[in-house]
Structure 1
Amino acid sequence: MRLLAILPVLESDPRIQVVFTHDADSPSVLLAGVAELLNTLRCNVISWSRACALRFDLILTASEKDRVRELDGPSVLFPHGAGFQKYDVVHRGVAGLGPQHLLDDEKAVHAAIALAHPEQRDLVAASCPPVLDRAVVVGDPCVDVMLAEEHRRSRYRDALGVAAGQKLVVLTSTWGSQSLLGRAPDLPERVLAALPFDGWRCCLLTHPGIAAVHGHRQLEAWLANATEMGLMTVPTGRRWEPVLLSADCVIADQGSMALYAAALDVPLLLAGGRPPTTVPSSPVAELAGRARHVDAPEDLREQILSTIAEHQPGRYGDLAARTFAEPGSSAARLRKLLYGLIDLVEPAGPATLGAGEMPVVLRGRVAAFLVTAVVVDGVLSVEREPVTSVAAEHVRRPDQHLVAHALDSAAELLQVADVVYTTVDAGHSCPDESLRWAAMTFEQWPRIAVAVRLVSADRCIAVTRNRLGLVFSLGRDGTARPGFDPLLLASAAYVGHRAVRPGVGSLALDVAGQTWQITITNLTDGGPEPAH
């Protein structure tokens, strides 16, 4: 993934042909899925045996363990994260800088070793002195891309489905037993359960090594419950930078993402373990000593809220400055280095790291909510929590009700639901059809009080057990509002059908600090017109 951040400085040059290769026979488990990823990205791929028979003008690698010495051509080694923060537990040296990988018969393997900061030259000098003259400070392209795209933050948040007034929590996990998911695999679920659904969104960024080691199917199975609660994830090969840039709070382990969050000046919570492989004097080790850590006994919502509220701008600025040299300069530095090794004249114009692609995420559909609803001075305040099991039923309070989808929810939830809903188009919203569907739904699920059909983005038909049909509409003009979830009308129907006189009424609905006006009419008077 690191190489994909570097390529934009040269791959658009018509004088240059970029090809990819990887050693399919390598025993490394982290190479699992590489062929599929390269195919998805539509890369020009050649076999390792074919690559070994060719002469290249330049070879780029982000792993010191790649058998680059078998290839013919000058190579550049890039760190595959934010600098060099870990120990190699096997060879007892700084990971990425061991002489067993950087030297071949006492000669430097690489023409250049790219560093993100001059301070990292000290690590090179201590780990493998003979290659110190190959160390070149080029900065960090990932940081520079995010800094250059800060003006697109609102666009990225829109693409992620983060509405005005909502906050985005991003969890990041590297791989291994000390990672966030390694130590707290239920943390995504706990975050989703702790935060009101309508005021927050949550996205998880995972190191590609997790899926490589365990498999995509297994990872998806582990995250299935969180996904059903609304968790977003980024597919392997898609850009993670727009997601991190969009965050209001980052919960990270002691991987590179914590340093990137610090560089972006985002409120930061740390989770996971304290890896013994972390270099004690490294920026990430110091960050771990200064940042707040998730405390399991404490209320998780309060920890996130206080982390955001108490964040001081520039809190980790010194650590970012120690990790990433001269932000904004990496494109020019990289192009100068790479074109110099190829022996080509640099193109005219400034070097760039490419145009920012919109973020792509996978998101689950929440089928059931435990809803807390309180009416004060004529205003209905609603707070929703996604649920996937009946565990919430055991602690349901009088001011709470359960809303469940007629087909997508599990039967165990439908058996204890107060409201069952479905979604139909306007052509199936005539009064008689709605009443028939409600009658069948009441017969199937005897406990429910209201059956709801969502017929548009701003309107629903609600039928009570005594066959009272009501239409709940958003706004007196029936116009939809950005960021409004029509499923909120189901809760308005549950509370509102008892709070107003049938046929004449309105209800103010407060959700996550926004107030919506809901009008209530009889189904025969103000319902959607049948399709003609």
Structure 2
Amino acid sequence: MGRKKVLAVIHTVAYGKRLLEVLSLLEADFRLQVVFTAPPHAFGDDVPAFLARLGSVVLPWAQATRMTFDLALAAGPRGVQYIDAPLITLPHGANYLKRVTEGPNAGVAGLRRQDLLPGGRLPAAVVVPHHAELRELARDCPEALPLAHVTGDPVHDRITASLPLRAAYRRALGLDEGQKLVVAVSTWGADSSFGRFDALLPRLIGELPAPRYRTALLVHPNVWAGHGAYQVRSWLARCGQLGIGIMPPEADWRSVLIAADWIIGDHGSVSLYGTLTGAPMLLATSSEREINPSSPAAALAAHAPTLSPTHPLVDQLDYAAQEYRPEEYAAIGSRITSEPGRFNRNMRKLMYGLLGMGQPAHEPVTVPLPEPLPLNAWAPGHGEVSA
């Protein structure tokens, strides 16, 4: 039986985790063969191990660029102009949160001309999560506007579908009755909260008394790839010895975010997804220089309390809980997608339309997230390969 070929272009672990969410919509269709390739990328060193854990067919980049496919998916622009296939581009995180403010490539990252037309070539479809992105697209790359499809956000939908399982996730993490979970999250780059971990970690270790508090660290895969897993583990070794959970970059962070009692974050996607969970938030840092001012990350930065270097951490957590207003954070979270709960339906329709095939005769259900491993079992390679 002749099968149509779908190519997943995996630049980094972060991009790969997002594409796995999309590829799940093609499961159980014997008419399709999905293969993977990994273009050269500064943060791509961990991709071969990531793909090996999947057990996937992986084509060398040089071979992939000489072949023809019936559909290709990419969450980043590098090299995709060399792919011979109808190409769908999509964001690899929540919304389009970051901007470049200097140089000839200034603009909103992901919506600039060089992001959407690498090598001057238009994709077959540009996936965006919210209708608000269409205004940015019309301004920065009007040629791509007719190709835009507002599909929603898969991570938003998985998190909201999984909120009723919060108690199960907490039990799976090994939290006892009455224990509080503080989750510190970081994007990547000099302005991320990881860039200030040398000040934050001693406070997490010294100011949150056990056993009342447990702590988990969720660090962007680009940090692990950029510095090397050995170096990140070395920097955080003392934290692990003292019982802080350090999530491996390949693991699924979303159930841990749902389980949190507090989130200490920054201007990255994971912090923004935290607005969906009902957990009070503190921002360890928030880079005005990097934040797209029209994005929900800017609204979060203007609203969430900022971590103070001079006040006790427990007092600040209590303050964040007292000041937390669910409806205010829900308003920020609602800006992640204008198609809540409909990503699977919209994205599957788009893919099968480009493939020229009828969709499977069943609803593409949003499946709740699996339970996480216990905090004390986290180690590189033990995490489930997931989005």
TM-score scaled by length of structure 2: 0.88
Structure number with greater CO (CA < 8 Å, separation at least 6) is 2
Partner of 1:6: 22
Whose Rg is larger? 1
Deviation by residue 1:132-156 (Cα, 9 ceiling, x = unmatched): 0111111110010011112221111
Distance 2:118 2:59 in 1: 25
Q: Please identify, of 119-128 and 80-89, the stretch whose mean Cα deviation from structure 2 is larger.
A: 80-89
CA contact (8 A) 1:169 1:251 kept: yes
Distance 1:189 1:10 in 2: 45
The aligned amino acid for 1:72 is D
Distance 1:105 1:196 in 2: 55
SS for the counterpart of 1:259 is helix
Identity of aligned residues (%): 37
Distance 2:374 2:174 in 1: 10
Deviation by residue 1:42-71 (Cα, 9 ceiling, x = unmatched): 22211112211221111111112x211111
The aligned amino acid for 1:84 is Y
Question: Alpha-carbon deviation of 1:273?
Answer: 4.3
Out of 275, 278, 301, which is 2:314 matched to?
301
Distance 1:330 1:197 in 2: 41
- 5 Å-filtered alignment, 1:265-414, equals 265-354=278-367, 356-360=369-373, 363=376
2:144 pairs with 1:95: no
CA contact (8 A) 2:153 2:337 kept: yes
RMSD: 1.8
Distance 1:317 1:179 in 2: 24
Partner of 2:51: 38
Distance 2:214 2:21 in 1: 27
Partner of 1:376: none
Partner of 1:207: 220
Question: Alpha-carbon deviation of 1:354?
Answer: 4.4
SS for the counterpart of 2:258 is helix
Distance 2:68 2:121 in 1: 20
2:240 pairs with 1:224: no
Out of 48, 62, 86, which is 2:98 matched to?
86
SS for the counterpart of 1:29 is coil
Deviation by residue 1:376-425 (Cα, 9 ceiling, x = unmatched): xxxxxxxxxxxxxxxxxxxxxxxxxxxxxxxxxxxxxxxxxxxxxxxxxx
The aligned amino acid for 2:93 is G
SS for the counterpart of 1:184 is helix
Deviation by residue 1:406-450 (Cα, 9 ceiling, x = unmatched): xxxxxxxxxxxxxxxxxxxxxxxxxxxxxxxxxxxxxxxxxxxxx
Partner of 1:257: 270
CA contact (8 A) 1:235 1:360 kept: no
- 5 Å-filtered alignment, 1:416-431, equals none
Distance 1:278 1:244 in 2: 22
CA contact (8 A) 2:276 2:333 kept: yes
SS for the counterpart of 2:58 is coil
SS for the counterpart of 1:35 is helix
Question: Alpha-carbon deviation of 1:362?
Answer: 5.8
Partner of 2:37: 21
Distance 2:25 2:377 in 1: 36
Distance 1:34 1:128 in 2: 30
- 5 Å-filtered alignment, 1:482-493, equals none
Out of 230, 233, 243, which is 2:256 matched to?
243
Partner of 1:131: 144
Structure 2 residue runs of 5 or longer lacking an equivalent are 1-16, 379-387
Partner of 2:70: 57
Deviation by residue 1:118-140 (Cα, 9 ceiling, x = unmatched): 00111111110110011111111
Deviation by residue 1:476-522 (Cα, 9 ceiling, x = unmatched): xxxxxxxxxxxxxxxxxxxxxxxxxxxxxxxxxxxxxxxxxxxxxxx
CA contact (8 A) 1:32 1:212 kept: yes
Deviation by residue 1:447-472 (Cα, 9 ceiling, x = unmatched): xxxxxxxxxxxxxxxxxxxxxxxxxx
Partner of 2:126: 113
Question: Alpha-carbon deviation of 1:102?
Answer: 2.1
The aligned amino acid for 2:310 is P
CA contact (8 A) 2:174 2:375 kept: no
Distance 2:173 2:370 in 1: 13
The aligned amino acid for 1:95 is A
Distance 1:262 1:273 in 2: 15
More strand by share: 1
Out of 60, 79, 82, which is 1:67 matched to?
79
CA contact (8 A) 1:9 1:354 kept: no
Question: Alpha-carbon deviation of 1:355?
Answer: 5.6
Structure 1 residue runs of 5 or longer lacking an equivalent are 366-532
The aligned amino acid for 1:14 is F
Distance 1:213 1:60 in 2: 24
